[in-house]
Structure 1
Amino acid sequence: MLTLSPARAASAAPSGSPQRAVMGTRTSGFYRHDLDGLRGIAIALVAMFHIWFGRVSGGVDVFLALSGFFFGGRLLRTALDPGSSLSPVPEVKRLIRRLLPALVVVLAASTVLTILIQPVTRWEAFADQTLASLGYYQNWELAVTASNYLRAGEAVSPLQHIWSMSVQGQFYIALLAVVYGFALLFRKRLRSHTRLALIVLLSALSVASFWYAIVSHDADQSTAYYDSFARAWELLVGALVGAVVPHVRWPSWLRSTAAAVALVAILSCGAFIDGVKEFPGPWALVPVGATVLFILSGANRMADPHLAADGRLPAASRLLATAPFVALGSMAYSLYLWHWPLLIFWLSYSGHNHADVVEGALIILVSGVLAWLTTRFVEEPLRLRKSEPAAPIAGAPLRTRRRWPTLVMGTIVTLLAVALTATSFTWREHMDTQRANGKELAGLSPRDYPGARALIDHVRVPKLPMRPTVLEAKDDVPISTKQGCISDFSNVDVINCTYGDPTATRTIAVAGGSHAEHWITALDILGRLHHVKIVTYLKMGCPLTTEQNPLVMGDNRPYPNCREWNEKVMPRLIADHPDYVFTTSTRPWNIKDGDVMPGFYIGIWQQLAAAGIPVLAMRDTPWLVRDGQPFFPADCLADGGDATSCGIARSKVLSDRNPTLDFVKQFPLLKPLDMSAAVCRPDYCRAVEGNVLVYHDSHHISATYMRTMTPELGRQIAAATGWW
């Protein structure tokens, strides 16, 4: 993480600065080793919960609060010192020297491991995230990915964890601009009131950010999780503590109780709060508030290092000030950088969904060794100025930086950063070329690439390379996706686009989620051929449903915007009164094999039946899942698999009978459509049929394969409507 340890913050603080005891530096005669220890505890929690429990521990939020405290405290001291310089250049240089070297080393190692272990289909996402990590906008890259239903699989990458460092980097620059800018304008005018004015300003910003976090969390939690504005309050609260801590006094017994309660809250947070779903909303107050409480428990001692027994740190603080915790805290940044990519690469290499006790222990051990080496030979030499002592650990001798090793290491890190940037841009350009080649997919010969016709009509399949290729697959999507004709996760507006024959008098409304949308490719062709207007009413991951608390299919996270969108789209559909509504009528079981007609679809059929609108009810296409996790056939094929090994048994994803058929008597206007025979063989759903890749991800049909299903879809719609 980007958290500056007390020792590092102390070494970077300007000499002669007033309120220096706030940061607990050695020159003031007192140093908070326990906060280094707290960082050690937090990083241990992060690693253990990631590796063994697949949960968020709250340790990241502890880091954010500590980051605001250390960095914000130093900025405030400088801003309040009438004789200090307000040039941002030294601070920016210090941040670069502190943060980038270890990050570059880990990115370089991750690049090598990606090439060796990950399928080539994952390289573009890795290149994009490498650039985002170097540019400190990885959180926004992941926010865009999280809000895009079709890119959801890219979020779990070796660099996913760098989102929090990007948040902190952005916060550092923003806070630097706010505090220094405020001091530049008002320090001389406000004089003794400058501190109070800054506290008021930071308090207002904290409240605004917290309110925004609650609103954005309720609207779209997966995007809010990475949002810098929704996370800013956690750092701002830490900065506020740095401003008020000199004026806090506690009775000894109350300080001890507060420290113990805070430590217990931090240790237990991950077990009782599902941070993946609840942060950065109100529940984030638990780890952040506990961190603030722990810092303030030592406020007496920090404000006056010459206090007697009453000024001793609480027992919990003294425990965390011991050498093992301090040593762990000193390399927390590097340990955080290393543990996640090592976990992801091991899971990718082994094919496991999670690490067991032994595997997890080995990952932590290797991460610890690499973190120590990175801290000792990369971070410290490049962070410290000439003859400047390294961060002290209790009882350890001070080290100084030598000039020549520093120059060599600095050169290596710079060259690695340049190489990473160049390599990432080169691969992105290569993928642009692949996308340009993919334009020919719409014109593939039906004789050479029969696709679904190999299953339906049993036509001969020549031996030719598969299309789309594994690199083309991701972008082989419906035209409606490319044109933005489907609302994303955060958008609750009803978006209408028209395909087929726009002048036709007969209309089919395609409504629901992306599993209704991927039929647009075939429906557009049929509409132009048979003079039918195709109008979209679509939202990512959101079928037509009466469910009050809908979840995102696949990861089961709350999706309140889906309910709001349904409340808008149903009156619109009924008012527009199309000749037919085309939508999905089944979905996979979450608890057993096969598919099901969900009960919360019945209310939709009732509303449409009451309005006299018939429904073309399409049975959903199979979702490819292994061990409870979705898998991408393109990744499997790129990793050496074949059409069979990269597929799935039909019985796993489809019931013996289309569940929609059980509701036809109840709803006479319900016209079941079932294209399962065009996707799966009688006993198996393969990844490739008729030389065409069936899926472009784990559960959406590729646009190229969808074109080959057009004749069969046209036959079924004709039988249901009688139009041709």
Structure 2
Amino acid sequence: MLTVSPTRSAVAAVSDTSQSAAGNRKAGFYRHDLDGLRGIAIALVAMFHVWFGRVSGGVDVFLALSGFFFGGKLLRTALNPASSLSPLPEVVRLVRRLLPALVVVLAGCAVLTVLIQPETRWETFADQSLASLGYYQNWELAGTVADYLRAGESVSPLQHIWSMSVQGQFYVAFLALVFGFAVLFRRRLAGRLRTAFVVLLAGLTAASFVYAIIAHQAQQSTAYYNSFARAWELLLGALAGALVPYVRWPMWLRTAAATVALLAVLSCGALIDGVKQFPGPWALVPVGATLLFILAGANRATGDSLPLPNRLLATRPLVRLGDIAYSLYLWHWPLLIFWLAYSGHAHANFVDGAGVLLISGVLAYLTNRFVEEPLRHRGPTQATAAPVIPWRRRLRRPTMVLGSVIALLGVTLTATAFTWREHVNVARADGKELLTLNPNDYPGARALIDHLRVPALRMRPTVLEAQEDYPPSTRDGCISDFYDTSVITCAYGDRKATRTIALAGGSHAEHWLTALDILGRKHQFRVVTYLKMGCALSTETMPRVMGNNDPYPQCRDWVPKAMAKVIADHPDFVFTTSTRPWNIKPGDVMPGTYVGIWQAFSDNNIPILAMRDTPWLVKDGQPFNPSDCLAKGGDAQSCGIKRSEVLSDRNTTLDFVGQFPLLKPLDMSDAVCRRDICRAVEGNVLVYHDAHHLSATYVRTLTNELGRQMAAATGWW
């Protein structure tokens, strides 16, 4: 997220409370080089996002600068014995600086979402726009990453606002901390107040950094958005604000430090994979470089000139780029995402990317000039060393009309988001009808198997209903989430039956529960679930999450517990998946890490109903959701995937039957896909509810075929 600099009069050199320092603060100077650093950072962020699909470290630079500007300012005011202890003026300034541009960008994104994105994405946009306005977008994204049901979701045009939320939360927390500390200890500590607070700040910084390392190791993908794991980056900036008055380096050392810092910032994105390494220890590179650059220019209060690298960044073009950095950050990412959605490209080429950057720059300039600047300043400020640009002088006093329009726009966005969410809830309430669809009107898989005639009727579930067309175990909380390593068991089918089938593994085993529940009640057997999101039974030492390939240590810890529980319960059969998609070529394969699982069950005389996994739909290397395609106007054929791209010619589970006589292969591929294509809709029923999970409605239509194969495998009916 970008730092938004305080007003020019507020960014005087950070100094202590001595009389001489007070004189320096009154005269003041403005760190134009830090505006230039912000300009370099936004250029790196935008270019790396658009052309390279990588994290540049620029966001971490922004966070550190935010801590320096905001934290340093509060250290000079709230901890000054002569200052007011009211945080209200600071809150008002924050709102005036941050919200107007954000509201304008969100409004623009809302229009583009309706024009470009399918309606299946509108709910997510509504949720994330509310999260952005409420400054909890980072937690919304962290929850999405951890939610396997949404793990295949396309990238959000508002994803980048997570860092703004982290910054906003920091501002509120830091305000409360510093003013609360001042109220409690101003009289007791007197002259030691500032020192005591800096010690507290150092302790909080260390605690956050240690937490970041632990969270990074536990689940990096969620730690990336975690405010507590990111707090140390801002707190280090605030500490730099406390250190600046005491830094007295010779010019040669300042020049060397500034040069090293600038080179580190410029090379960070190329040398470090920030998506995988941040906010862990490697984030010290961009953050440490930022602090080094700040401190390299700290002697200015003594009359020294800035080092050469600092002077270079204080040049007018970079300073102007820094001025529009906040708006440019807001605009560039959604424009990139909308262009990719509109063009159908997986990545932006050089020309496309240049166009996105150019349009982003124009919109950023307009937003800065006509929204940010008029609403940021109440009126003329005190004179500073910085020259006042004429058009800025004319725009110092915000207009009531503009402020009212922005406020009305924010209210409209909020009301529209809540209205659409309510519409979706009403539409999904009709999903209860899915349990009682007429089988003649909605034959689903039976249209493939029995070649039934299919009447021309509306597809069910609809694209909105499909997103929550889950098996009963999901609704009942009978599947462990990504973080839970405990084994949760629930019973379905005929719960009083003496015969038992254990349904074990991940969500691709789980989605067969809809049919197994029906068969269990019909043929008198009990189904007991042993399920964990994204965790197939495997002896892999470090499983990875399918889709984003993140390490999944919780799965590794859960599998032995689940295996021990299943073996101890000794069911009549274990039902689990036996194949996975290849990650290096089209088709599917039985992984070698499944063999140890089959051996363990065989050693304990437990037969295995080994279900070939259903196809994972992928196009151009990205998860492909048929609902999105259908919502854009596609049909069952055009929104399908060639069978050869997702299924091998032969079920490789069959190669292991000789080795494991208790292995009973099941294969429903011909009931999901045609000979040449896996279509989006069969028999008026939507096959998938996302990119790789079968809809519960379609699984119900698979009940007869699954029952036929299970009867042959078990001999029970």
- TM-score of the two chains, using structure 2 as the length reference: 0.96
Aligned residues of 2:588 and 2:647 also touching (Cα < 8 A): yes
Structure 2 distance, partners of 1:21, 1:470, is 69
Deviation, structure 1 residue 53:
0.9
- The alignment partner of 2:405 has SS state of helix
Of residues 333, 350, 361 in structure 2, which corresponds to 1:357?
350
Structure 2 distance, partners of 1:273, 1:139, is 22
Query: Given the superposition, is the C-alpha separation of residues 19 and 100 from structure 1 closer, same or farther in structure 2, using an over 3 Å criterion?
Result: farther
Query: Given the superposition, is the C-alpha separation of residues 709 and 13 from structure 1 closer, same or farther in structure 2, using an over 3 Å criterion?
Result: farther
- The alignment partner of 2:448 has SS state of helix
Structure 2 distance, partners of 1:466, 1:457, is 19
Of residues 546, 551, 554 in structure 2, which corresponds to 1:558?
551
Name the structure 1 match of 2:585.
Answer: 592
Structure 2 distance, partners of 1:266, 1:392, is 28
- The answer on 1:714 being equivalent to 2:707 is yes
Deviation, structure 1 residue 20:
11
Of residues 644, 665, 671 in structure 2, which corresponds to 1:672?
665
Deviation, structure 1 residue 43:
0.8
Aligned residues of 1:615 and 1:669 also touching (Cα < 8 A): yes
- The answer on 1:434 being equivalent to 2:434 is no
- The alignment partner of 1:399 has SS state of helix
Aligned residues of 2:296 and 2:307 also touching (Cα < 8 A): yes
Counterpart code for 1:4: V
Counterpart code for 1:160: Q
Of residues 395, 410, 413 in structure 2, which corresponds to 1:417?
410
Structure 1 stretches of 5 or more lacking a match?
Answer: none
- The alignment partner of 1:242 has SS state of helix
Structure 2 stretches of 5 or more lacking a match?
Answer: none
Name the structure 2 match of 1:123.
Answer: 122
Of 243-252 and 468-477, the range deviating more from structure 2:
243-252
Aligned positions of 1:138-157 closer than 5 A: 138-154=137-153, 156-157=155-156
Structure 1 distance, partners of 2:19, 2:270, is 37
Structure 1 distance, partners of 2:9, 2:483, is 43
- The alignment partner of 1:434 has SS state of helix
How many percent identity over aligned positions? 72
Structure 2 distance, partners of 1:287, 1:152, is 29
Name the structure 2 match of 1:312.
Answer: 305
Of 337-346 and 712-721, the range deviating more from structure 2:
712-721
Structure 2 distance, partners of 1:707, 1:690, is 12
Deviation, structure 1 residue 615:
1.3
Of residues 642, 651, 655 in structure 1, which corresponds to 2:644?
651
Deviation, structure 1 residue 473:
1.0
Counterpart code for 1:681: R
Aligned residues of 1:21 and 1:28 also touching (Cα < 8 A): no
Query: Residue by residue, what CA displacement relative to the aligned partner does 1:271-290 show, whole Å, maximum 9, x if unpaired?
Result: 12111112111211111111
- The alignment partner of 2:341 has SS state of helix
Structure 1 distance, partners of 2:506, 2:639, is 25
Name the structure 2 match of 1:98.
Answer: 97
Name the structure 2 match of 1:34.
Answer: 33
Counterpart code for 1:292: L
Query: Residue by residue, what CA displacement relative to the aligned partner does 1:197-242 show, whole Å, maximum 9, x if unpaired?
Result: 1111111111211122122222222111111111111111111111
Query: Residue by residue, what CA displacement relative to the aligned partner does 1:226-267 show, whole Å, maximum 9, x if unpaired?
Result: 111111111111111111221122232222111111111111
Structure 2 distance, partners of 1:246, 1:444, is 74
Structure 2 distance, partners of 1:337, 1:462, is 49
Deviation, structure 1 residue 144:
1.0
Deviation, structure 1 residue 542:
1.4
Of 205-214 and 444-453, the range deviating more from structure 2:
205-214
Counterpart code for 2:162: W
Aligned residues of 2:380 and 2:397 also touching (Cα < 8 A): no
Deviation, structure 1 residue 88:
1.3
Deviation, structure 1 residue 723:
1.4
Structure 1 distance, partners of 2:138, 2:417, is 18
Structure 2 distance, partners of 1:524, 1:28, is 78
Deviation, structure 1 residue 312:
2.5
Structure 2 distance, partners of 1:669, 1:507, is 16
Structure 1 distance, partners of 2:591, 2:22, is 58
Of residues 500, 509, 517 in structure 1, which corresponds to 2:502?
509
Query: Residue by residue, what CA displacement relative to the aligned partner does 1:320-352 show, whole Å, maximum 9, x if unpaired?
Result: 111111111111100000000100110010000
Structure 2 distance, partners of 1:389, 1:99, is 22
Of 521-530 and 702-711, the range deviating more from structure 2:
521-530
- The answer on 1:167 being equivalent to 2:166 is yes
Aligned positions of 1:5-404 closer than 5 A: 5=5, 8=7, 10-11=9-10, 18=17, 27-154=26-153, 156-301=155-300, 305-307=301-303, 311-388=304-381, 396-397=389-390, 399-400=392-393
Structure 2 distance, partners of 1:217, 1:9, is 37
Query: Given the superposition, is the C-alpha separation of residues 377 and 357 from structure 1 closer, same or farther in structure 2, using an over 3 Å criterion?
Result: same
Structure 2 distance, partners of 1:426, 1:149, is 26
Aligned residues of 1:650 and 1:680 also touching (Cα < 8 A): yes
Deviation, structure 1 residue 709:
0.3
Name the structure 2 match of 1:627.
Answer: 620
Structure 1 distance, partners of 2:2, 2:21, is 20
Query: Residue by residue, what CA displacement relative to the aligned partner does 1:160-218 show, whole Å, maximum 9, x if unpaired?
Result: 11111011101100011011101110011111211221111111111211122122222
- The alignment partner of 1:136 has SS state of coil
Name the structure 1 match of 2:465.
Answer: 472
Structure 2 distance, partners of 1:544, 1:390, is 69
